[in-house]
Structure 1
Amino acid sequence: MGAEREGRGRRRRMRVGAYVGCGAVLLAGCASMPDDGDLRGVESTPRQDAQVRVYALPPREDARPSEIVQGFLEALTSDDPDYETARMYLAGKALSDWQPSATTTVLDEGPNALVEPSGTREDDGDFLYRLTGHEVAQVDAQHAYKPADDDYNETVHLTQQKDTKQWRIDRLPQGVVMGKSDFQRTYVSVNKYYYTSFARAGQLGTVADPVYVRREVDPVTQMVRALLKGPTRWLNGVARTSFPPGTALKKGVRSLTPDDQNKLVVPLNGKADRVARGKCNEMAAQLLFTLQDLMPTGVDEVELQRSDGTQLCVLDEGGASHGAGGGADYQYFIDGEGRLVRMLASGADREPDAVPGALGTGDTELRSAAVSRDEDRAAGVSKDGSEMYVGSFESDGALGDPVVHSEGRTDTDRLTTPSWDGRGDLWVADRDPKNPRLLVLQGGEGEPLEAGTPGLDGRIEAVRVAADGVRIALIVERDDNQALFIGRIERDSDSSGEPSVSIVDLRSATPQLEKVKAMSWAGDSRLVVVGRESRGVQQMRYVQVDGSMLDGPQPASLTGVEEIAASEDERLPLVAHSEDGIVRLSSGAQWQTVVSEGMAPVYPG
């Protein structure tokens, strides 16, 4: 997460009292347009310099209806904390009932506004404008992002005020609407952190819940309030918060700011007054993880206060642990002799060594492997893809019997590369067309359990489970296309008391790509993906689990990529299997060849 914070820090805007637009940096009132025809130009701020804040202008005296519509739409993209300027364009029920936080609709370009019916006014003498565009995403009231691919079609109604004779909007859709470039300038993706509901005894794993907040409008307070409201709907069934139900900021608290010692004091309402010290430390840890993801320098210490202002608990970053999903000691891949080999994860060495134990001898040739997150054992898939073995790095004995067998007729109809989650469970997909299965071995041993996949349409080609053990990434093939989906892992017991596992609420993480070749988790809510768009060339990109595309630095281009490996610790190099063999990309460097023969690179997980 540290490197992820550093990347976000480089993109974060400074809070500078500048004004942008119309020659300076002000938004509304910049255009003069007729009262009929197609109104354009709402994409008002084409990616301004990062060191600005954007403000809107209020409506000018005797502004025409077209200017009111244009000014209002531009005001929606400003950094006004409560949309005060946008509200100046409203009247009547629109002024009292409009809720900008209800939803943020993102269009491919800024909304088009067309007076309707064209060239005429309504019978009552008022104006009706139709807003249109192509919708690419929505951010809901919980700040959760969801890709979309639909037509946007809404109307705003204007009336002339009887007392002032000024035109104002009196009917409009709830929420705000803006073009993609304005959204990328105005909003930032941040992880909220909760605890997993299905951790094993003695474990306290965390799970990231990405949301979008306005980057220049008191993001610290926004994120604290969002965290206190609990997980977003998609994650709610598998994540929990340590804050008691109903916990919120103390009444009257409007803004939170770390002090000059990088300490944040958070006054809470009475719902949290009686929590025990251990539970309070868990609450403070959630805040620390969340704010470290938000801010370039993070927050060093959090103090929670009761409703009467007394101290509830204090926690610094040294006392907070994420659980599974930390760094890695080694990178691993299969060498030209079918052995599992490893290199230092830091990239300090260039010569791989065979792993200890039977998987490193080459007696059973492998084509892929997965290493447990504690790096004590690994699962290896045989060269023909029909068998999966589990071996320890501490034992020199021969491999035991395979733990999974596939009956697929060809290599490509057999087992995928396996994956370990943070609970110590081992996952693999069998691509046998006659018996396709997603299997999980609890604790990496015993009889495989078949995971239910309701809603899955297609064949699983690749599996990667997040460190949290509650999210799974799947490459699914259907009609010769390969798409990346993120599913939620739900665990339960059947009527006989036997454990059951299901993958539910699958959602696309790469709606813009039609052929995903390879992927790997590359952060708490980020993946690195190799794929291509329709009629496009192969590309490598970072994507969020919610389907949004990060606007920061992307990996250097690399041709002929077959497989990719990344660590949740983003400071560690990317490793790929390409036409040049096993190659590695360290931060600030170019791709370098490690060995000319090798395949299936992986980090623990």
Structure 2
Amino acid sequence: MGAERRGYGRGRAARAFVLPVCALMLLAGCASMPDSGDVEQVKATKGADSQVRVLAVPPREGAVPEEIVVGFLEAMTSDDPTFATARKYLTKHAAKEWKPEQLTTVLTEAPDLGPAASGENENSRSYPLSGELIATVDRHAYQAVAPTQYSGGLRLVRQSGPDGKGKEWRIDSAPQGLVLGESDFQRNYVSVNKYYFASGQSVVADPVYIRQRQDPVTRMDPAAQAVSALFDGPTNWLRPAVGSPFPAGTALRKGTTSLTPDDQNVLKVPLNGKASNVGRTACQRMATLVLLTLRELTSPRVEQAQLQRADGSPLCVLSADQAEASAPVRASASPDNVYFVDGNGRMSVVGAEAKTVDKTTVRGPFGTGELRLGTVAVARNAQRAAAVTNDGQHLYTSSIMSDEELAAPLVNSAARKPEDRLSAPSWDRNDLWVADRDPARPKLMRLAGGKGDPQTVEVDGLDGARIESLRVSADGVRIALLLSKDGRSSLKIGRIERHANAEGAVTVSVVELQSAAPRLESVTAVSWAGPSRLVVVGKEAGGVQQVRYIATDGSLSPVGGLPGLNKVTAVAATEDHEERPLVAVSDDGLVRLAPSANWQTMIDKGSSPVYPG
């Protein structure tokens, strides 16, 4: 039943039991677990399995320093209530000061333990910890970083045993919080989208990590953890762009550790006194965010949420269908259509189930061949489209539902080389975006409503990098930018901020760029593939090109890598339905990847594949 675990140091290794969840019931009748005997060192598992549980084992009497260190590091990976077993490896003072909930440090592998260094006397000893740091998690927020060296340490002292006799080694100084390898982190934590309101009724996903099972510190189940995190407010990065309807101090009623829908799929959410007196409209907005936050976490789906006052009386009731009305993306009029540019430079459609080009769906100048197109984007209502000519010089918009005449271009680039001209366009829920890559005058532009004069959008933090391509999220609050600088490419996520002056004119800017794929050495293409998920084409240092899902916070999606594909130059996905095929352009032409299938060729020659948006 055991899973492999990393061995630390030399000599005897401390032990932790690793069991499938289904085996836990069998342990209920055991009087005790063995606490003696040698255990061979083994290496950590590759990959995470959420159905595996690590049961921490307390230190044995007379344990040598290396056993204490290994036992403590292993105990940090468990679900032990309040981390009580881990604290047994610490001195009383250190156990009181250690705050496992304060910060989680994520390394590519479990921390490596270096050789011991003697302390001031024979009763003290220090051990260095090292590894490759890839992220930290603070207040549930995951912050990915480019892989860098991690260094920490543990100091041990020898003190009187619990019975006042003998001497036992215990840890007197430890890194604050948890230090976990990536596989242990993924086994213990799950990403959940919290939701908050942007302008109007639209909502924005704010991804955070909670414990897969019961939280060792709060004893809350995943649903209660997610709702509590929702009440805490947006993560710092998203906070300036969204608002929360929850009054300050809102929390679950004291003692609430579980949120479980009844047999009618109705979820009752008991609140504390801070939220007991909100009005009906505010309460329904609160319930909307609760339902949207839990929709990906509970199965079957919660059909109705009832928020309750501190005294248990109903505050308001809202159905899941009412909450879904605030979702930023809803199915378009032609949800299965994949739009692309055919070999003759015309905008065409291939249905998700077809392998032939439909030349009749796209009407107007983009479908007639009047212009030779290079890249296209379709508005989210699938009524209009934007197109950049194949020389990259002009941006046009037109109806694709009627035979209107071609209007004058909305944007023109003066760059001499085609590769330095206009990027592929992208729509948010209302507006059209495009970048001019002219080395003399590079700029990001927005066309309100997809018409009129382009507005230049200031982008903070580019640091000399050029915008090669872009994709705007459906909610209009986040933008994915593929940047290049000094021959290297990178992917950044920026927050879109809108500010109106006294005359009502709106100024738009992109701020606080954060790395979305710091572990990739180069990025070729990107598309939104969910409320907080991207599909990215890129490669790690020394690796081969991959197509994989990455969350906007930089963490790897549990779906991970996708089947291999050669020389991918473009990719397209949908944000509103995970069952629709992923589409890409490769050496094999225009290809698609349906769920639980391999890549299949749709069209031999095609470029710029897009879904609406």
TM-score (norm 1): 0.89
Aligned-pair CA distance for 1:61: 1.9
Q: Does residue 337 of structure 1 match 2:344?
A: yes
Structure 2 CA distance for aligned equivalents of residues 518 and 26 of structure 1: 52
The aligned counterpart of 1:132 is 130
The aligned counterpart of 2:14 is none
Q: Does residue 272 of structure 1 match 2:275?
A: yes
> Which string of whole-angstrom CA distances, capped at 9 and with x for unpartnered residues, describes residues 71-130 of structure 1?
11100001224212112222232111211111111112212233542xx34337222222
Q: Cα 1:63–1:257, aligned 2, differ >3 Å: closer, same or farther? A: farther
Structure 1 CA distance for aligned equivalents of residues 594 and 540 of structure 2: 26
Q: Cα 1:548–1:18, aligned 2, differ >3 Å: closer, same or farther? A: farther
Q: Cα 1:98–1:535, aligned 2, differ >3 Å: closer, same or farther? A: closer
Q: Does residue 283 of structure 1 match 2:290?
A: no
> Which string of whole-angstrom CA distances, capped at 9 and with x for unpartnered residues, describes residues 154-200 of structure 1?
2222233332533222222210101122112222212111111xx3x
Q: Does residue 327 of structure 1 match 2:331?
A: yes
Q: Within 5 Å, which residues of 2 pair with 1:347-386?
A: 347=353, 350-354=356-360, 355-386=362-393
Q: Cα 1:595–1:29, aligned 2, differ >3 Å: closer, same or farther? A: farther
Q: Cα 1:47–1:367, aligned 2, differ >3 Å: closer, same or farther? A: closer
- Counterpart of 1:326, as a letter, is R
Q: Within 5 Å, which residues of 2 pair with 1:382-461?
A: 382-422=389-429, 424-457=430-463, 458-461=465-468
Structure 1 CA distance for aligned equivalents of residues 52 and 355 of structure 2: 43
Of 167, 173, 183, 2:169 maps to 167
> Which string of whole-angstrom CA distances, capped at 9 and with x for unpartnered residues, describes residues 530-551 of structure 1?
1222332221111111111123
The aligned counterpart of 1:177 is 179
Helix, strand or coil: the match of 1:78?
coil
Q: Cα 1:19–1:425, aligned 2, differ >3 Å: closer, same or farther? A: farther
Q: Cα 1:27–1:334, aligned 2, differ >3 Å: closer, same or farther? A: farther
Helix, strand or coil: the match of 2:114?
strand
> Which string of whole-angstrom CA distances, capped at 9 and with x for unpartnered residues, describes residues 412-441 of structure 1?
01001100002x011000000000000001
Q: Within 5 Å, which residues of 2 pair with 1:202-601?
A: 203-217=200-214, 218-321=221-324, 322-328=326-332, 329=334, 330-344=337-351, 346-347=352-353, 350-354=356-360, 355-422=362-429, 424-457=430-463, 458-493=465-500, 498-552=505-559, 554-568=561-575, 569-601=577-609
Q: Cα 1:362–1:459, aligned 2, differ >3 Å: closer, same or farther? A: same
Structure 2 CA distance for aligned equivalents of residues 430 and 28 of structure 1: 67
- Counterpart of 1:588, as a letter, is S
Structure 1 CA distance for aligned equivalents of residues 25 and 446 of structure 2: 55
Moved more, 85-94 or 228-237: 85-94
Helix, strand or coil: the match of 2:190?
strand
Structure 1 unaligned runs (5+)?
Answer: 1-12, 34-39
> Which string of whole-angstrom CA distances, capped at 9 and with x for unpartnered residues, describes residues 308-361 of structure 1?
1101122221221243322342221112222222234x4357432341222222
Contact 1:560 1:579 in 2 (8 A): yes
Aligned-pair CA distance for 1:29: 8.0
The aligned counterpart of 2:121 is 123
> Which string of whole-angstrom CA distances, capped at 9 and with x for unpartnered residues, describes residues 384-410 of structure 1?
111001112344221111111100111
Structure 2 CA distance for aligned equivalents of residues 557 and 171 of structure 1: 46
Structure 2 unaligned runs (5+)?
Answer: 1-19, 215-220
Structure 2 CA distance for aligned equivalents of residues 466 and 49 of structure 1: 31
- Counterpart of 2:310, as a letter, is S
Q: Does residue 602 of structure 1 match 2:610?
A: yes
Helix, strand or coil: the match of 2:446?
strand
- Counterpart of 2:507, as a letter, is S
Helix, strand or coil: the match of 2:459?
coil
Aligned-pair CA distance for 1:515: 2.1
Aligned-pair CA distance for 1:226: 0.7
Contact 2:119 2:126 in 1 (8 A): yes
- Counterpart of 1:425, as a letter, is D
| Alignment coverage as a number of residue pairs | 573
Aligned-pair CA distance for 1:303: 1.6
TM-score (norm 2): 0.88
Structure 2 CA distance for aligned equivalents of residues 27 and 182 of structure 1: 24
The aligned counterpart of 2:217 is none
Structure 2 CA distance for aligned equivalents of residues 70 and 64 of structure 1: 10
Aligned-pair CA distance for 1:31: 6.7
Contact 2:398 2:406 in 1 (8 A): yes
Structure 1 CA distance for aligned equivalents of residues 21 and 66 of structure 2: 33
The aligned counterpart of 1:3 is none
**Structure with the greater relative contact order (CA < 8 A, sep ≥ 6): 1 or 2?**
1
Helix, strand or coil: the match of 2:51?
coil
Structure 2 CA distance for aligned equivalents of residues 558 and 93 of structure 1: 55
Of 142, 145, 148, 1:147 maps to 145
Contact 2:109 2:131 in 1 (8 A): yes
* RMSD of aligned alpha carbons: 2.5
Aligned-pair CA distance for 1:498: 3.6
Aligned-pair CA distance for 1:295: 3.3
Contact 1:53 1:216 in 2 (8 A): no
Structure 2 CA distance for aligned equivalents of residues 26 and 48 of structure 1: 25
Contact 2:144 2:515 in 1 (8 A): no
Contact 1:303 1:311 in 2 (8 A): yes
Aligned-pair CA distance for 1:276: 2.0
- Counterpart of 1:550, as a letter, is S
Contact 2:48 2:184 in 1 (8 A): no
